[in-house]
Amino acid sequence: MNGLKNEILNKIVKNDSIVIARHVRPDPDAVGSQLGLKTMILNQFPSKKVFTVGEDVDSLSFIGKMDSVDEATLKESLHIILDTSNYDRIDHPNKELIGESIKIDHHPIVEQYGELNYVDTKCSSTCEVLMTLFDYWDFNHFDYSKTLAKYLYIGMVGDTGRFMYNNTTSQTLNFAGKLLESGLDHQQLLNEMYEKPFGQLKLQSFFIENIKLYRNHIAYVQLTEEQMKSHQFDPKESSQYVNIMSGIEGVKIWVLFTELRDEGIIRVNIRSKDVVINTVAEAFNGGGHPQASGATIYNFEEVNHVLNQLNDALEEHS
């Protein structure tokens, strides 16, 4: 892995223009890792041109904004794709313009699409993967600025559920401590991450009222587009509610089915306590981590098929 780390750094050093991308429907780790890597590169190589691309999402606007990049720049730039397990999920203005590319990720390997592929599934988040790289590259023992620390800390907090998920390791907490030493305001960041507009809180109430149990140990909610529109809520941001179900006594797996009518799909967010569920996600056009995965179905009639297979996975685990 050290040889690969050196190769990645050499690519960064040799290219004057770099575009940093991530997956569609981003989360704090995706955006935080993008802006964190951009900040680090510009700190060390101020003359380089570094851009982040992808759709801006209102709920993540407190982290930062993406850049507008012309096609000529996209075509001539080195691309670094973060937090994206397969090529189809890259959020990019024109993927046909992606030339030389590097993949950096922490998800289980689905597809290796870059000239260089650096994947560390032991890390909680792509932000944590970046910190392992930064520490190895050791730019004369550089210090984490408040800005860089903010981006990386947000990503780690998001993917570990405020360090409550079982992907949190001693390395994760050591890195978090190092970021806090920068002087960043931990409480302010958490406020920005978890405060919600009043309309979203009303949807949260509706969400809780509509939780159903499947065979006692699987909780799930189905959200239609009409329900979300009535609460003035963007369906693409619904995944932030999935873990509301995590604290239900006796529940081992919880699932959110969200209708995205403009895309003709129903997005499925699956989480679990210890039960391996990514194999079920893979059977429904998805994948992810053993206890945190996503999938896609095409109508609500498929919901029971998903729940049946999750129940089979639960019984095998038991």
pLDDT tens digit string along 26-39? 999 999 999 999 99
CATH 3.10.310.30 domain span(s) along the chain: 198-317
pTM: 0.88
CATH 3.90.1640.10 domain span(s) along the chain: 2-192
Which CATH number describes the domain made up of 2-192? 3.90.1640.10
* Mean pLDDT value of segment 42-63: 94
List % helix, strand, coil for the chain (3-state, nearest 5). 45, 20, 35
Give yes or no for residue 254 having a pLDDT over 90. yes
Q: Return the H-helix or E-strand segment holding 265.
A: strand 265-272
Query: CB neighbours of 170 closer than 8 A, spacing ≥ 6?
Result: none
**How much is the pLDDT for 235?**
75
Helices (H) and strands (E) in the chain, counts: 11, 12
Which segment, 235-239, 290-294, 310-314, is predicted with the most confidence on average?
Answer: 310-314
Quick: pLDDT tens for 80-134.
999 999 899 999 999 999 999 999 999 988 889 999 999 999 999 999 999 999 9
Question: Domain 198-317 adopts which CATH fold?
Answer: Diaminopimelate Epimerase; Chain A, domain 1 (3.10.310)
**Torsion angles phi and psi, residue 260, rounded to 5:** -120, 85
Quick: pLDDT tens for 159-191.
998 998 889 999 999 999 999 999 999 999 999
* pLDDT > 70 fraction of the chain, expressed in percent and rounded: 99
Give yes or no for residue 201 having a pLDDT over 80. no
Q: What are the tokens at 311?
A: 């129940």
